[in-house]
Amino acid sequence: MTKGSLVDAARHVAIIMDGNGRWAQKRGKPRLFGHHAGSKRVREILQSCPHLGVKYLTIFAFSTENWRRTQEEVAGLMTLFRRYIIREAENLNNNGVRVRFIGDRMRLATSLVDLMDNLEMITRDNDIVHLTIAINYGGRDEVARAAQRLAYDVKSGRLLPKEINEKTLPRYLDTYVLPDPDLLIRTSGEARISNFLLWQAAYSEYDFVDTLWPDFTPAMFEEALARFANRTRRFGGIPA
Ligand code: FPP
């Protein structure tokens, strides 16, 4: 790909929405106040995707490690996810957004899983933007769950050990229908990927921005995409 050309548009952007807690604390408010503000940003960033050429948006809403937070914060986040789905379902569907969830649903409340299943179902024919929300997601956990399913397939003879390779293994990941992310953005100034999309982000470009997630505007999103367009991706090779 040439530097800065249109073909360098980031088709799939993954975001680690970090900094909600600090944003709230700076205002003397409880952490959940920051998560609520963060959920409003999700709406705005998603709305900006079609005209920015972003077809796939994948957001990290709750990690397998986030259960270590206080019971109050965990419960508050779970309620926020429920409310978000109920409140946004119609709007998402009307705007042609196809919603998917990744992560292990086993530990989530049935009431939430039912809402997630239903939103996936009602939006399954949409194709304007593909929004993937990671809840109880961890990259290592995903690979371990994939390995388990793969082992069952080998045991039952559906897959031969010699058929396990870089093409067949991703079919067992939660993201099996998605392209790999072109760009991974993390807000709040932390420069790490915290167990997000470990397999899928092997060749993603990373953009770490200092802004806290509730302050991250569509204009900043556009700037990140512009920085991406100016990078030369080599995928281990040599640029043409
Ligand atoms: C990280 O910030 C953020 C989270 C663990 C939650 C992300 C959730 C949202 C943005 C809510 C909306 C999402 C949806 C899909 C409705 P942090 O709390 O770790 O911030 P800190 O590092 O400043 O403490």
**pLDDT above 70: percentage of residues in the chain:** 96
Q: Is 18 a catalytic residue?
A: yes
Parallel/antiparallel/unpaired status of strands 183-186 and 56-63: unpaired
Confidence class of residue 8 from pLDDT cuts 50, 70 and 90?
low
Q: Determine the atom of ligand 1 nearest the C-alpha atom of 135.
A: 15
Helix spans in 70-138 (H): 71-94, 110-122
Q: Does residue 22 have its Cβ closer than 6 Å to ligand 1?
A: yes
- Decide: 17 and 209 in contact? Cβ < 8 Å: no
pLDDT confidence of residue 115? 98
Q: Determine the atom of ligand 1 nearest the C-alpha atom of 190.
A: 22
Confidence class of residue 224 from pLDDT cuts 50, 70 and 90?
very high
Task: Check whether 232 has a pLDDT greater than 90.
Answer: no
pLDDT (mean) for 53-81: 98
pLDDT confidence of residue 240? 63
Which residue is closest in CA terms to ligand 1's atom 3?
18
Closest CA to 64 of 145, 164, 134: 134
The alpha carbon of 39 and the centre of ligand 1 are apart by a number of angstroms equal to: 8
How far apart, in whole angstroms, are the C-alpha atoms of residue 77 and residue 71? 10
What's the mean per-residue pLDDT of the chain? 95
What are the Cα distances from residue 115, in Å, to 44, 81, 87, 220? Answer: 22, 9, 11, 31
Please pick, among 66, 95, 126, 195, the residue that the annotation labels catalytic.
Answer: 66
Q: Does residue 175 have its Cβ closer than 6 Å to ligand 1?
A: no
Confidence class of residue 214 from pLDDT cuts 50, 70 and 90?
very high
Q: Does residue 61 have its Cβ closer than 6 Å to ligand 1?
A: yes
The alpha carbon of 72 and the centre of ligand 1 are apart by a number of angstroms equal to: 14
**SS percent in the chain: helix, strand, coil, step 5:** 50, 15, 40
Each domain of the chain, given as residue ranges in start order, spans: 6-229
- Assigned fold of 6-229: Undecaprenyl pyrophosphate synthetase (3.40.1180)
Closest CA to 10 of 197, 209, 235, 205: 205
Q: Is 91 a catalytic residue?
A: no
The alpha carbon of 36 and the centre of ligand 1 are apart by a number of angstroms equal to: 9
pLDDT (mean) for 160-178: 98
Q: Does residue 18 have its Cβ closer than 6 Å to ligand 1?
A: yes
- Of 22, 23, 35, 137, the one to substitute when testing ligand 1's pocket (max ligand atoms within 8 A of C-beta) is 35
- Decide: 133 and 139 in contact? Cβ < 8 Å: no
Could you read off the pLDDT of 9-60 as tens digits, one per residue?
899 999 999 999 999 999 999 999 999 999 999 999 999 999 999 999 999 9
pLDDT (mean) for 159-168: 98
Could you read off the pLDDT of 132-151 as tens digits, one per residue?
999 999 999 999 999 999 99
